[in-house]
Amino acid sequence: MVIQKKGMNGVMTDRRYLPEGTLYGGEENNYHTADLRRLERAMEQGQIIEGMAVRCDCSNMCLTVDLGCIQGIIPKEEALFLRDGEDGKDIAIITRVGKPVSVKITDIDFSGDVPRAILSRRAAQEECFETSVSALSPGDIIPATVTHLEPFGAFVDIGCGIVSLLTVDSISVSRISHPKDRFRCGEKIFCAVKSIDNESGRIYMTHRELLGTWEENASEFSVGETVAGVVRSIEEYGIFVELAPNLAGLAEYREGVNVGDRCAVFIKNIIPDRMKIKLVLIDSAPQEQSEIEKNKRIRKYYIDPEKVEHIDKWLYSPLECPKIIETIF
């Protein structure tokens, strides 16, 4: 499915193909997969549909896909859209089992006891890339789905299973030791296009620009309050406590505190021209796993991605602060 987006001249243009799994279970997808006649029509119209990958034959790396009314098969060579210089790995196919896949129907085989659809995930991704992804520009805000987490960053699906990298330093201003501190696999988020490698076609994303400036985050807190936070870094000169994903303050060093602890802190001072928040650590304790998962789901976007689809510049630091932290797209 494609989201229509207004261009600069006000004309509606195809701009985004949604992350893989978004169509699955939806009204339009259910309509196309309800019976064989509708599947044949979807094939004739070149529709992108989604089904659940239920099996991988490791002898030939073919994926079996449940389309509801019939099953389909994705041959190995049709499972991945590879750009120049890319080498498709079997693990990228195997890990689709148990997940929805975006496909186009290339044929329906009636030679067996039951009809079987011949599918191409590569064709769906190629159309997505040529129609949508290749038209993206730095600063464009798009929906994404987190697919994989590594210490250096999060991989996100930006359309039909096409994956982009969100480096760990681009996730939030408040530093984290691992993307798992902020995201979980399968989570739906919004990102902005950070940069595009014109030679390889690879697109890199950023997330922190959507989480508010220093002033926007600091305005949620007041001197004299005691609030909850998470310990993100411990140095000899103090303990950095995250109050929000884009805001951290500094408390004096204390033994027995560990990175990742939840804590209660008293806000001693807020200094905009130095971009500082001085804290007093009241108490700390290890977080339960349930608390960590709950905190991941608490995210406030200060830019409404449903209304703002592009930004040219983002200034994090207050105007009166001599230190400038900004992103120019």
Q: Give the largest CA-CA distance in the chain.
A: 76
- The string of pLDDT tens digits covering residues 238-283 is 999 999 999 999 999 999 999 999 999 999 999 999 999 999 999 9
Model confidence pTM above 0.85? yes
In angstroms and rounded to an integer, the radius of gyration of the C-alpha atoms of the chain is 23
Q: Which DSSP category does 325 fall into?
A: -
Query: Does residue 2 carry a pLDDT above 70?
Result: no
User: Do the beta carbons of residue 244 and residue 174 sit within 8 Å?
Assistant: yes
Give me the mean pLDDT over the 160-187 stretch. 95
pLDDT score of 66: 98
Query: Which domains, ranges and CATH numbers included, belong to the chain?
Result: 2-131 (2.40.50.140), 214-297 (2.40.50.140)
- The string of pLDDT tens digits covering residues 33-52 is 999 999 999 999 999 999 99
Phi, psi (deg, nearest 5) at residue 129: -65, -50
CB atoms within 10 A of CB 27: 7
Task: Provide the pLDDT confidence category of residue 297 given band limits of 50, 70 and 90.
Answer: low
- The string of pLDDT tens digits covering residues 181-238 is 999 999 999 999 999 987 777 899 999 999 999 999 999 999 999 999 999 999 999 9
For 75, 158, 191, 204, 208, the CA distances from 104, given in Å and listed in that order, are 13, 18, 26, 26, 35
Q: Which helix (H) or strand (E) holds 269?
A: strand 262-271
Separation of alpha carbons 160 and 154, rounded Å: 17
User: Do the beta carbons of residue 250 and residue 239 sit within 8 Å?
Assistant: yes
Residues 6+ apart with CB under 8 A from 85: 200
* Token reading at 302: 């200060």
